[in-house]
Structure 1
Amino acid sequence: MESVEDLRRARARAVLHLLTPEQMPTWAAHALIDGYDSPSLGELAGLDVADPRDVQDTFTAALNELGAPTLDEAQARWEMARAWAQAAVEGTMTPYEAARRIWWQASSPLGHPDVLADFVGLASEWEDDPEHRAAYEADIVQAARVLLACR
């Protein structure tokens, strides 16, 4: 079963247009398989994506029924920064890719908060200094652990 954190991340991905209406019915089907159930979730899993607005509205209703918190854009960017950091720590995303996403999709739009500065610097160094990429990747994972500990 998905956790509230997974539902927050689904909402964050939708707010930032990283989860498209075309992907939402598949997400709903997986949520049903994972043990979640609500009237709108079942409806969403069977929706035709011909009407993106209807899909988005049903997705929002499903998340509301499941108790997922609402997020504004800034909250969604912070949620995704943590998700990418976690992916770097878990090895489900390369450290560079996680740092690059944090840089471009979280740090820059959020006005470059200090807690995300290491990701910007390390991703930039990784790009400019191929001989030391392994060291930068280790540093990115460490920065990700620090970010995750700041909850």
Structure 2
Amino acid sequence: MLAAHALVDGHDSPALRELAGLPRRSDETEIRELYVQALHELGIPLPDEEAAGRCLLTRLAFGLAKDELSPKDVADRLSMTVAARTQEETRFLSVAADYSEWIGPDDLPGWENDLRTAAHSLTASTDLGADIGVPSSRRD
């Protein structure tokens, strides 16, 4: 679905078109190969794991700061394998990792506030811009 959104946004390449047309349950290897090929055709370098993780942290922080994602959306999308480089990234990751489905109703507002504060701190300090996009809250 993301490939189709990229086409709608004006990005176009043969591999991206093929990727957009794949069925939902396609082979993961085929998807990855087409994804890498589409990035190459579009002149977009494939980020290393650290850069990709930092982009994810920043995208989630901007999504939360702009009220495009809820605190729970952030916690659900965050991989604990993401590495943080700056103090602000570390704080955002640490607060997000504190989320649990068993968090009490009295503690939830405090956690949400702490996460929003960490998100605003990260978005104000990052060298990765707001233009990197925000993951949608839809489950496509």
Which TM-score band applies after superposition, normalised by the shorter structure?
0.5 to 0.7
- Equivalent position amino acid for 2:60 in 1: W
User: Residue 60 of structure 1 aligns to which amino acid in structure 2?
Assistant: V
Partner of 1:141, secondary structure, is helix
The question of 1:69 aligning with 2:45 is answered yes
Task: Kindly report which structure 2 residues correspond to 1:21-36, keeping only aligned pairs within 5 A, or say none.
Answer: 26-36=1-11
Q: Which stretch shifts more, 112-121 or 137-146? A: 112-121
Map 1:27-106 → 2, pairs under 5 A: 27-47=2-22, 50-99=26-75, 102=78, 104-106=80-82
Greater mean alpha carbon deviation, residues 72-81 or residues 133-142: 133-142
Say if 1:99 and 1:119, in contact at 8 Å, map to a contact too. Answer: no
1:134 equivalent among 98, 109, 126: 109
Greater CA deviation, 83-92 or 132-141? 132-141
TM-score under structure 1 length normalisation = 0.63
When normalised by structure 2's length, the TM-score is 0.67
Structure 2: gaps (5+ residues): 128-140
Report the CA distance between 1:46 and its aligned residue: 2.5
Shift of 1:144: 0.5
1:20-57, CA deviations, whole angstroms, 9 ceiling, x for partnerless residues? Answer: xxxxxx22222112221112212222245644323221
Q: How many residues align?
A: 123
Gaps of 5+ in 1: 1-25
Give the Cα separation in 2 of the matches to 1:61 and 1:103. Answer: 25
Q: Considering fraction of residues, name the structure with more helix.
A: 1
Contact 2:64 2:71 in 1 (8 A): yes
CA distance in 2, matches of 1:118, 1:66: 31
